[in-house]
Amino acid sequence: MKISDAVFGVILVVFAAIILIYSRTLPTLPGYAYGSGFFPSFTAIFILCGGIALAIRGVRERQPLLVLGEWTKSLRLISNICVIPLSIVFYIALSDTLGFVLTSFLMMSGTIWWLRRKILSTVIVSGISSALIYIFFAKMMLVPLPTGFLGI
């Protein structure tokens, strides 16, 4: 999925402008003209220049605003790509309630099933992997993984 350099340029210019405006509100070191805002402003100036250069390039080369990738022609591939961030959102939303083992099992089995559509191997692989990851991180490395209502 190709987005025009002009679009990136405009986004970067707006982003740099916000940084510059905010940086001006940051205090300076006593007795000096620079402080906490100096370095962010310095980076923002380069982001601004880069954004302007990209915008000019995009317009000059008459790049189309958006060129959809090959994968956008297949509903299957579109859903494949969406299922990855959605499974992470699922983990963020439910791991505290369901606990690590159940959430990771559901996350993994849902993703594998969606990608492969083989239920038995999906359940076996997800079950074993979730248990092993839990044992390794929670029991061996003592990471306090979310426990949820099951306590694991």
User: Binding residues for other proteins, per CB under 8 A?
Assistant: 1-3, 8, 12, 19, 22, 26-27, 29, 32-40, 43-44, 46-47, 50-51, 53-54, 57, 69-71, 74, 77-78, 80-81, 83-85, 87-89, 91-92, 95-96, 100, 104, 107-108, 111-112, 115-116, 121, 125-126, 129-130, 133, 136-137, 141-146
Residue closer to other proteins by CB (options 98, 107) is: 107
CB of 149 to other proteins, least distance (A): 17
Pairing of strands 66-67, 2-3: antiparallel
CB of 150 to other proteins, least distance (A): 17
**Is 81 within 8 Å of 114 (Cβ atoms)?**
no
Q: Which residues of 4-38 are buried (b: 16+ CB within 10 A; e: fewer)?
A: bbbebbbebbeebeebbeebeeeeeeeeeeeeebe
Residue closer to other proteins by CB (options 42, 150) is: 42
Residue closer to other proteins by CB (options 70, 151) is: 70
Instruction: Give the single-character DSSP code of 91.
Output: H
CB of 122 to other proteins, least distance (A): 8
CB of 11 to other proteins, least distance (A): 11
Residue closer to other proteins by CB (options 81, 150) is: 81
**Is 69 within 8 Å of 1 (Cβ atoms)?**
yes
Q: Which residue type is seen at 60?
A: R
Sequence-separated (6 or more) residues with CB below 8 Å from residue 39: none
Residue closer to other proteins by CB (options 78, 150) is: 78
Identify the sign of the CA torsion 52, 56, 62, 63. negative
